[in-house]
Amino acid sequence: MSTKAPSAPAQVQTSSPQWLQALLLLAPAGIWLALLLVIPTLLIFQLSLVPDIKPGDIVNPSGLDNYLRIFQPDVLKVIGRSLLFAIGTTLLCLLMGFPVAYWIALLSPKRWRNLLLLAFVLPLWTSSLLRSYAWISILRPTGVLNTLLTSLHLPTLDLLNRSPAVLIGMTYSLLPYMVLILYASLEKLDRRFLEAAADLGATPPQAFWKVTVPQTLPGIAAGSLLVFITGLGDFINPELLGGTSSMTAARLIYNQFLGATQNWGFGSALSMVLILAVSLAIALLIKYGDKNASSL
């Protein structure tokens, strides 16, 4: 979306009506982005350089204090946990989403495809808060899952307020996005490539690894990065399902602004790091995606 902007100047040089056209077309989104993204980000950056001084402190704090605090072990641990949740969710979504997308795109009867996709998108139409609460009632010690396990004379599982619940909730929330993106990629897959691979002696598994996966790599990368980025910033699932032991970067930031430990400077610094990490991921996505597109 924001990548469209740099391509505009190339057109500007050709003629002035085109220049005007580009300006008019890009202005609404540009103003929107400037007001709600660029300026707030700059404000956060400014805030992140304001040292946290509590009454009675006798120190000479520098502007970088907020950033240095990130390197304290407890904060690093929180960031690490956030990354693990995001990576774990990405892997789970990929593992579960790929077979589903593959089946819908390549094997299911054509007339069912839209219906099947709709079934997958349906959960997105409910509030994410609602979905997390639903998981609470499923996973809590006396919830649906454990009632079922007990009735089957199996040991109960204590998942709620621990990492597994967060992973389950996040995977559930983000799986539809992964399936949709992978579907779009697999649906474009030229089936003649699979025939050509078989023709040249590749067994179906070999054709899958040598043709299907590389051909859909842009989709796999796009889906994974989208899930990763969204997962990294997810607040609701860790907050509602993770309990006190599963502090994540998003929750930590929330606490700095609205929680018990009011520290806007540190919260802003953490936010900046998160924004940077996400931007890096997006840059990777663009670069990687483009490289693949040009070879198509």
User: Which stretches of the chain bind other proteins, using CB under 8 A?
Assistant: 190, 192-193, 195-203, 206, 210-211, 214-215, 217, 292, 294-296
Of residues 1 and 107, the one with the C-beta less far from other proteins: 107
Closest separation in Å from C-beta 193 to other proteins: 6
Of residues 56 and 109, the one with the C-beta less far from other proteins: 109
Closest separation in Å from C-beta 96 to other proteins: 25
Closest separation in Å from C-beta 295 to other proteins: 5
**DSSP string covering the chain:** -TTHHHHHHHHHTT-HHHHHHHHHHHHHHHHHHIIIIIHHHHHHHHHHTS----TT------TTHHHHHTTSHHHHHHHHHHHHHHHHHHHHHHHHHHHHHHIIIIIS-GGGHHHHHHHHHGGGGS-HHHHHHHHHHHHSTTSHHHHHHHHTT------TTSHHHHHHHHHHHHHHHHHHHHHHHHHT--HHHHHHHHHTT--HHHHIIIIIHHHTHHHHHHHHHHHHHHHHH--HHHHHHSTTT---HHHHHHHHHTSSS--HHHHHHHHHHHHHHHHHHHHHHHHHHHHHHHT-
Of residues 258 and 293, the one with the C-beta less far from other proteins: 293
Closest separation in Å from C-beta 98 to other proteins: 17
Of residues 48 and 215, the one with the C-beta less far from other proteins: 215
Of residues 57 and 190, the one with the C-beta less far from other proteins: 190
Closest separation in Å from C-beta 287 to other proteins: 17
